[in-house]
Structures are given as structure tokens and as C-alpha cells.
Chain A
Amino acid sequence: MKLRFTNHWLRSQIDKDADIECDAGIPLRDSTSITHFTHPEAASVATAPGLKMAVLSVLVHQLRRRDGLSVTQLAERLRVDADELANVESDPNYVPRPRTMHQLADYMKVSTQAVQSLTAEAIARNNNIAQAALKFAASSKDLSQLSNAERRGLNDFVKFLASYEEE
């Protein structure tokens, strides 16, 4: 594409422009509606389970079930806001506060870094985490008590998180 503008022109215009919003048309909130503008492989990478799955949500939910705690009870043990914990569990895209991640890490006796590695962005970057998280999330069924297989899955995943720093 032959350009009719120069960087000098852009700099002068950007400097003169008021500091205001410039968004137009359909608001873009996620990638699902534009994946078909990419190569099919690109779309499959972006929508892979590793990016979408609610690993932290599932983990918190599983911990509560393992220990027989309500959201409020676990929040009290962690000394975090119950609303915050409810958001972590219900919204896969929720970004917990650093303190919440720290308290969760303490509760599971793993490093804070390991819990941080379960955010969607970190999973997208780390294939090892993605694979372990995918296996863990896929093994979870939403029953009132953990089955033996789920308990094993949870324990294995916590062990994996405990060894996260060594990788």
C-alpha cells in the first residue's frame, strides 16, 4: 500500500489532537467474532481450551468441595473479600487481586507465582501449564463431593503447582 501520509505529519497531528476517545462502530470485547478474518490455524490457537478454560475458577471450586467450605467460609480462612472469591470462581476472565492470589497460594502451600501462572494470559504463554491445567480442568465434574479421581486430579495439579518454580 502506497502511503499518502508521513510520520512527520502523524506526529504533528497526534500532538495537536485532543486527548479523547476515538472508538467507532462495533465495540470489540473479545476475539470470537473476528477469528474468521485469520488463517484457520490462528483461530484455533486463539480459541484453544488453554486460553478459555477457567482453571483458577475450577481450582477454587475444587478446593472448596475438597474441604467442604462455602465461598464465605473459604474467604474467611483466606482473609479475603467473599465477593472477590465469588468472582474468581464464577468469572473465568476475572483477574484476582495480588493479595487474593497470595492468600490462595498460602492456603495450597504453593508459591504465589504458581497461582499467578493460572491466569488466562500466563496459561497462553506457558505450554507446560496449559497442558497440566487442561488435564485438570477436563477431569473436573461439578458434583457436590470430590470423587476419588477428582481428588487425585486436584492433588496432582497442586503438586504440579508446587513444583512450578523449579521449571
Chain B
Amino acid sequence: MDFIIEEINLFGRIIKFLLPAVPMTLEITLFSFLSAVVLGLLVAIVRTSHIVLFQKTARIYVDVIRGVPLLVQIFFIYFGLGKIFNLSQFPAGVIAISICYSAYLSEIFRAGIEAIPKGQFDASKSLGMNAIQTMRYVILPQAFRIVIPPISNEFIACLKDSSLVSIIGLRELTRAGREFYSQYFVDFETWFIVGFMYFVMVMVISKFIFYIEKKYKIIK
């Protein structure tokens, strides 16, 4: 019985220690993902444009970013470029994640844009719309609905990948976990709770995404 009470106490202490680090995890995820969406959309539009030079540049961007592990990108931006930009940990982490995810997201957006039948581009043109108007009023509203499920997937992945910035000393959930267990040496309990906290966050987000998906579903 004593053992159980002790264990419950320990769990309480770990949760109390870890909770203040959760907002940081959410902040990193939100900031990174929002900028990744904007950047990714830009890259996708450039990539689907008719100018060959633009297409090629966007393709090289995606290939390079996708070909390098996120962890290496974090090291590169924080330490590698430290002498030039001297970013502090938060902006460095956010920039690294947004650049990395913008490459993946741009591919998803491209798939969404290319899924719209060619005829709609021609129809918009015949209505006298220019390229920007076509994108803004015809293509993107439809493409967005198509890409909601894969994008939500990426968002969840992004939340979990935010744990990688713990490596540059940013105190988010995973970092707080490492701090706790390096002081009290309780490994199983610490990592169990860290994992559980990520799981809860992902569950809440999934529920929210499910709601959005239902709301914007294209009725066929």
C-alpha cells in the first residue's frame, strides 16, 4: 500500500514539474506551423506556376529541405549560423521547424491545387479572372478542403517534432522531462508521463480537427 501511495506522490510531483513546460511546447508548435503553412502555400503556388524558373527554384527548395534531417537543421540554424544571426533558442527552433515543415506542406498544397480539374482554370480565364484571382476565388478554397486531413496529420507530427528543439536547451516538455530524471533518476515514471502528456495534447487536437473536417467537408 505504501508503495502505491509513494508512486502516486511521485507521479504528482512529476506532473507538477512538467506542466509549466507545456505552454512552451504549444507555442513552438503553433508559431512554427502557422509560418510553415504560409511559407508552404507560397512555395506550392510558385511551384504550380507556368514560369519554368519559378518551378525549378521551388523544386530545389523542397528537395534540399526535405533531404536534411530536422535535427541537423536545428543545429545548423542555432549553432551553424550562430556567428551571423545569433538567434536565441526560441526563434531558432521555430525557424528551423517552419522551414522543414514548409517543404512537406508545400507538397501537400501542390497535390491539392493539382487535384482541381484543369477546366476550372480555363473557365476562370474565360470569365476574365487573372491568375491571382483564379487562385484566390476558385482554386484555393477548394484545394484547402481537400488538404485538411493531410495537413492535420502534419500538425500532429509537428507537435511531436517540437521535442527536438530540446537539444538546443529550449525548456519545453521533453527538456523538462530530462531535467527531472537527471535530478531524481526516476526514468520509467518520467518518460511515461511525458509520453502521456503528448498523447493527451494530440487527442485534444484530433478531436478539434475532426470537427473542422466535418464542417468543411465537400458534399458530393
User: Do the two chains belong together in a single complex?
Assistant: no
